[in-house]
């Protein structure tokens, strides 16, 4: 599985590098606008399988690098992370009553193609993209008969997303914005057993997020 992930990451890296090289040729006369860096902070609201499993909303953080292919077309790569939590309570013949605190932590590499429409100091945008998600399920279990335990498991999935939002130019280089994203992913398969207590999540990472953003063009 690890070698397969490295192969996929290598293909993504080559594809992104090719797009950036093409952008050097296609970028228009607004040379100062060719690149930008951006920080995004907001919240992620789970839907679908995550919602069915009673995971709460979580904080989402990401850093992004963007390249203008033309004045109206942008390719953006981002490293993103978010974490969600849920609580499970029950009884086990071996461990007695138990309380289980689960944290589903995700790190993702995303690539997004955006169309952008400037209207004065405001730029409206929308786009589509895909990503590769590394996921860890960590659980702390408190039992009445056997004491405390902890365990974790990892998996990786691919996903797709759509985005829409707006940026406002504070100066020619600094800007702030608001972005909404909805994502769909393949299903995870996470499973461990501690004292005959199952620690598991089987399902997707689908959900929507809203972030406030700050960026710098260069």
Q: Which residues pair with 152 in a beta bridge?
A: 138
Q: Which two tokens stand for residue 4?
A: 């397969």
Query: Over 50: is that where the pLDDT of 27 sits?
Result: no
What pLDDT, in 10s, does the model give residues 92-111? 888 899 999 999 999 999 99
Q: What is the mean pLDDT of the chain?
A: 88
What is the mean predicted confidence (pLDDT) over 22-27?
Answer: 47
Identify the residue with better confidence: 17 or 38. Answer: 38
CA gap 111, 66 in Å, rounded:
10
Write down the pTM of the prediction: 0.83
Q: Are 104 and 55 in contact (CB under 8 A)?
A: yes
With bands split at pLDDT 50, 70 and 90, how would you rate the model's confidence at 119?
A: very high
HSE-CB for 3 with a 13 A CA cutoff: 0
CA distance 122 to 128: 20
Per-residue pLDDT of 80-97, as tens digits, reads: 999 999 999 999 888 899
Using left for φ > 0, alpha for ψ between -120 and 50, and beta otherwise, residue 186 falls in beta
Domain range list for the chain = 2-217
What's the confidence (pLDDT) of residue 33?
Answer: 67
d(CA 137, CA 153): 5
Residue range 2-217 forms a domain whose CATH class is mainly beta
- Please write the tens of the pLDDT for every residue from 182-215: 999 999 999 988 888 889 999 999 999 999 999 9
């Amino acid at each position: 599985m690890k070698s397969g992930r490295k192969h996929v990451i290598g293909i993504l890296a080559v594809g992104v590098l090719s797009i950036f090289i093409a952008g050097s040729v296609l970028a228009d006369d607004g040379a100062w606008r060719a690149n930008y860096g951006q920080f995004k902070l907001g919240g992620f609201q789970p839907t679908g399988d995550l919602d069915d499993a009673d995971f709460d909303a979580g904080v989402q953080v990401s850093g992004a690098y963007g390249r203008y292919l033309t004045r109206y077309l942008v390719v953006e790569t981002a490293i993103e992370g978010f974490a969600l939590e849920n609580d499970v309570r029950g009884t086990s013949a071996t461990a007695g009553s138990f309380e289980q605190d689960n944290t589903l932590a995700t790190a993702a590499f995303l690539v997004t193609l955006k169309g952008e429409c400037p209207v004065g100091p405001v730029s409206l945008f929308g786009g589509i993209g895909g990503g590769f998600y590394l996921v860890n399920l960590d659980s702390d279990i408190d039992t009445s008969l056997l004491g405390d335990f902890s365990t974790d498991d990892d998996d990786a999935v691919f996903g797709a997303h759509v985005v829409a939002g707006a940026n406002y130019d504070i100066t020619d280089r600094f800007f702030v914005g608001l972005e909404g994203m909805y994502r769909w992913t393949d299903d995870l398969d996470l499973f461990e057993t501690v004292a005959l207590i199952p620690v598991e999540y089987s399902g997707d990472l689908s959900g929507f997020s809203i972030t406030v953003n700050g960026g710098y063009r260069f």
